[in-house]
Amino acid sequence: MITIEPINRLTTQLARLPGIGQKTAQRLAYHILDVPPAQAQELAEAILSARRDVHSCPVCGTYTDVTPCAICTDEGRDGSVLCVVCEARDVLAMERTREFRGKYHVLHGVLSPMDGIGPSDLHINSLLERVANPSVKEVIFALRATIEGDTTGYYIFKKLPRRDEITISTLAKGIAIGNDLEYTDELTLGRSLVNRVKFSLNG
């Protein structure tokens, strides 16, 4: 079998992407070699520019190329409602439902002791600081329906300030277990937001 080092290198990198197996990686590598050089250049530059120009919003943690992000500075959005999500891409999923007009807080992961991910690895303290502001009236957990997602929700719930005027809720069950928010269709996700339930430690 012949090995062409630059193709191997490209294939290896593509195969590291989620959902891309070895065969698909090979097919993509050969496709990249078949397209006009300018198109391959654009792909490479888009990757570099996204990594260079995009960062986490210092307020909410979502990915943005402006500081703070467009959602945080949108006066038309209700800053008294915070939706807590695991990943920046979950913000996109929530936005697609068109049901949410509050603001977000991205944790950048879930608690996972097995993988050595503890509270200090997530954006939990910044969330607690935001919620300490009396203008916040509702916190909605829109976390993954997995054990780690639940554990993370419980951990934060116990740390949140108890104030009479603050409601802590979670998406209604309707999201299949383990699904990422981004793979849940907008209607289901939108419905589970509208039908959100009071958060309780008994699940």
Among 10, 14, 29, 69, binds Zn ion (CB under 5 A): 69
Within a 10 A sphere around the Cβ of 134, how many other Cβ atoms? 11
In angstroms, give the least distance from the CB of 60 to Zn ion. 3
| Cα–Cα nearest to 110, from 52, 150, 167 | 150
Which listed range, 27-35, 61-69, 106-114, 178-186, lies at the site for Zn ion (CB under 5 A)?
Answer: 61-69
Give, in order, the Cα–Cα distances in Å from 76 to each of 81, 97, 130, 146: 13, 17, 19, 33
Among 10, 25, 60, 110, binds Zn ion (CB under 5 A): 60
Q: Which lies closer to Zn ion via its Cβ, residue 60 or residue 139? A: 60
Q: Which lies closer to Zn ion via its Cβ, residue 59 or residue 93? A: 59
Q: Which lies closer to Zn ion via its Cβ, residue 21 or residue 68? A: 68
Among 14, 25, 29, 57, binds Zn ion (CB under 5 A): 57
- Is 91 one of the binding residues for Zn ion (CB under 5 A)? no
Q: Which residue has the tokens 């699904």?
A: 179
- Is 59 one of the binding residues for Zn ion (CB under 5 A)? yes
- Is 156 one of the binding residues for Zn ion (CB under 5 A)? no
Peptide bond into 36 cis (omega under 30): no
Give Cβ neighbours of residue 171 (< 8 Å, ≥ 6 apart): 140, 141, 142, 189, 192, 193, 196
In angstroms, give the least distance from the CB of 104 to Zn ion. 7
Q: Which residue has the tokens 């500075």?
A: 73
Binding-site ranges for Zn ion (CB under 5 A):
57, 59-60, 68-69, 72
